Structure 1
Amino acid sequence: MNFLRSIDPVWISLGPILVINLILLTSLLYFLATRDRWPVPSEVKTRPNSKFLSGVLKHWWYWNNEPIGKFFMRLGWTPNTLTFLGFLFSIVAAFFYGNGLFGYAGWLMLFGSTFDLFDGQVARLTGKVSRSGAFFDSVMDRFSEGIIFLGLSFYFRDSWILFFLLLGLIGSMAVSYTRARGEAVGVDVKKGSMQRPERIVYLGCASIFEPMTTYGLNFIWPVPPPVLVIAAIVLIGVMTNVTAVYRMIYVMNELDNREKAGIETLPKMLSRLTTPEGREKLRSEWKQKKLGS
């Protein structure tokens, strides 16, 4: 651990970033130039664009990692093995988060989360797609995310940031639960701005750039806090709960439309407030009622 701390913090961020980002940028530019050649994966089709992560970037990320998935397939690794490996990376990332080594933690978390793509790709390529595998993957995702929050909570245990970490943990679990519960009652809901991919990208990127940011702030701030990580935590803490509430309203509205057609219910009204057309219609109805009174 002392050896890791002795490394110039700038290079924790800058060293891998210069190499990896150059490779990824080249890959992205090539993908954008030839995008029409590559079929859109079902995972991207079924996940609508969010305000925090575009569908084009999701498509590119799946395309970019497909060769790695094929490599694991040739090694004979099973999808469940890859899922569990991703979880192990999350454990190590949580350890680094707990010790304040955000740069290392960010890379480990992003790399571990990428296994979530590999297991699905290997399952499709080998014809081993199964409901038990999908269930195992979903459960391990929750464990992986929870242990990351645990590591961060240990580091920020005496800080006000702990409140937003707990808020983010509750919101993250609620986002997943509203989807699972919605599907159980016959409503497919994958809407929302802060789903798991967005949470991983924002926290991971903030962590990777944190050592470099802290190094720069040292010139004007004797002991700067990890501002990028804090910003990501606050954003996740707020937006996960917004997403969960939005999903809850959406599911309730869908169920009310089936069971209470023609009756104005609170979920229906709240759902209409989420679209410009719905808000305009509510405004017109309110004006008509006001004129009528």
Structure 2
Amino acid sequence: MITPWDAQPGTLAALNRVWTAAAPALLLIAYLLLGLAAYGIRGLARGRFRDEEMDTRGLGGLTTARARHFFAWLMRPMWRGLAAAEVPPNAITTLSVGLAIGAGVALAAGRFSLGGWLYVCAGALDFLDGRVARETGRASSGGAALDSVLDRYCESAVLVGLCWYYRTNWVLFPCLLALTGSLFVPYVRARGEALGATMKDVGFMQRPERILVLGLSVALSPIFEALYAPLEVRPVHYLAIVGVGLVAVTSHITAIQRLVHLVHSLGDGESTDHRPLPRSIIVSVLATALDFSVVRLLLRQWGLSAPLATALGCVAGGVLAFLLSRSWVFEADAGPRARQAGRFLFVSGTSAGLNAGGVALLLLLPSMNNQVAWVVTRAVVFLTWNYPLLRDHVFSSALRGESISDASAGPVSLAHAGGRDAPQS
């Protein structure tokens, strides 16, 4: 008789899945607890330990300064041991890549505990290689470049393995988002530093945090699957999905944080005041609600045709959006109304075309819901096209200033002309 704890063909038994995931976690917890006790005793005897390199990293990331100093102290015996053994730092770097590739293969094969712990080990080696290089005086620009490039291969290998495992599942989409986000975060930093901007520790989901979130969620996921779905030959791994989703969302947020910081540091010649954004979102929602309400009223109560009702609804929503944007969102009452209205019509027309095209593209995807496609497209078009143009083109401060200067120039020039042409008394 086969029980849930027996192995299925090509899989581990549920009990083995639990232990392969839990045993490394228990060892890690024991090491952390013993290290924390020793760290506390050391602090009482000799004062708080401070790592100079951690002090230079700023306050970014999810980890606190104390946690970083504790981690450096905990790892110090390892890098000093490797340095004493004269292990080349580049060998540690390449070994971390090998472990990450192995993690990706294990994940693609469905061995999540093995893949997750291999990835955590690869992340630890990535921390050690730089410390060993500096400890032994072998730090170089070439080694730093090699480490930076191979880090991207490490993350890509793991996420590609997850993409392969979820290749027939909707989870493939967040896996791809996590993959692109993990590449964009370091790229924005590298680009910013190349342009002379200070990018150190900008953003909260940096590489150490991504390794911990993704590695631990993947490594511990088989425990929950073995308990709640022991007979599944190909488990969904919900905890791993949560970790992938967190990395997917937060990595892109971090990339945007770094991009905004970079643009503000270098200056792009346009407005960087995003305070009107919440008000603009409110106005957009109100205008859309009025649009729908007018269409519904004209169709049901007045019996107008759908095209005519839709056109009138768009006009009503557009007028409301223009008036509120002009007077409340951007406070541009002093600007030239006719020019603002013309530019607003241009933005509204192009936005309508982009929204229609975006919805049509998303509906090409299988099982895509029409409402979801509409909401996603509206949000993307608003943030990437509509709002920037309203802020920097339709209701820009330069346009308002131009109107004010034109209005004030009239009386001044007349007075000046009168003073010049009037007869001397």
Give, in whole Å, the separation in 1 of the partners of 2:81 and 2:187: 33
Whether contact under 8 Å (1:103, 1:210) holds in the other structure is yes
Matches within 5 A, 1:73-84: 73-84=83-94
2:133 partner amino acid: A
State the partner residue of 2:163: 153
CA deviation map 1:88-132 (0-9, x unaligned)? 110111111111111111111111111111111111111111111
1:10 equivalenced with 2:10 (yes/no)? no
1:114 equivalenced with 2:121 (yes/no)? no
Total equivalences in the alignment: 273
1:70 partner amino acid: R
State the partner residue of 1:103: 113
Uncovered stretches (5+) of structure 1, i.e. residues with no partner: 274-285
State the partner residue of 1:278: none
Whether contact under 8 Å (1:187, 1:251) holds in the other structure is yes
Matches within 5 A, 1:134-283: 134-189=144-199, 190-218=201-229, 225-256=236-267, 265-266=270-271, 268-270=272-274
2:67 partner amino acid: L
Q: Secondary structure at the match of 1:160?
A: coil
Give, in whole Å, the separation in 1 of the partners of 2:158 and 2:116: 10
Q: Percent identity?
A: 30
Change in CA separation of 1:3 and 1:163 when aligned onto 2, cut-off 3 Å: closer
Whether contact under 8 Å (2:159, 2:175) holds in the other structure is yes
1:85 equivalenced with 2:95 (yes/no)? yes
Whether contact under 8 Å (1:62, 1:117) holds in the other structure is no
Give, in whole Å, the separation in 2 of the partners of 1:223 and 1:73: 43
Q: Considering only aligned residues, what root-mean-square deviation do their CA atoms show, in Å? A: 2.9
Give structure 1 regions of 4+ aligned residues with deviation exceeding 3 angstroms: 32-37, 219-224, 270-273, 286-293
1:60 equivalenced with 2:70 (yes/no)? yes
Give, in whole Å, the separation in 1 of the partners of 2:118 and 2:59: 27
Q: CA deviation at 1:148?
A: 0.8
CA deviation map 1:228-252 (0-9, x unaligned)? 1000101111111111111111100
Give, in whole Å, the separation in 2 of the partners of 1:72 and 1:272: 54
| Most deviating of 55-64 and 126-135 | 55-64
CA deviation map 1:216-275 (0-9, x unaligned)? 22379997520110001011111111111111111000111xx86xxxx33x324999xx
Give, in whole Å, the separation in 2 of the partners of 1:191 and 1:86: 25
Change in CA separation of 1:48 and 1:290 when aligned onto 2, cut-off 3 Å: same
TM-score for both structures, normalised by structure 2: 0.59
| Most deviating of 176-185 and 74-83 | 74-83
Whether contact under 8 Å (1:146, 1:169) holds in the other structure is yes
Change in CA separation of 1:219 and 1:112 when aligned onto 2, cut-off 3 Å: closer
Give, in whole Å, the separation in 1 of the partners of 2:266 and 2:145: 25
Q: Secondary structure at the match of 1:192?
A: coil
Larger radius of gyration: 2
1:31 equivalenced with 2:42 (yes/no)? no
1:252 partner amino acid: V
| Most deviating of 80-89 and 68-77 | 68-77
Q: CA deviation at 1:34?
A: 3.9
CA deviation map 1:148-178 (0-9, x unaligned)? 1111111011111111111111111110110
State the partner residue of 2:390: none
Give, in whole Å, the separation in 2 of the partners of 1:288 and 1:233: 37
Whether contact under 8 Å (1:89, 1:111) holds in the other structure is yes
Give, in whole Å, the separation in 2 of the partners of 1:76 and 1:10: 38
1:72 partner amino acid: L
State the partner residue of 1:280: none
Structure number with the bigger relative contact order (C-alpha 8 A, sep ≥ 6) is 1
1:13 partner amino acid: A
Whether contact under 8 Å (1:49, 1:55) holds in the other structure is no
TM-score for both structures, normalised by structure 1: 0.83
| Most deviating of 30-39 and 237-246 | 30-39
Matches within 5 A, 1:36-51: 36-43=47-54, 45-50=56-61
Uncovered stretches (5+) of structure 2, i.e. residues with no partner: 1-8, 278-326, 335-425
Q: CA deviation at 1:54?
A: 2.6
Q: Secondary structure at the match of 2:132?
A: helix
State the partner residue of 2:367: none
Give, in whole Å, the separation in 2 of the partners of 1:210 and 1:288: 47
Whether contact under 8 Å (1:203, 1:233) holds in the other structure is yes
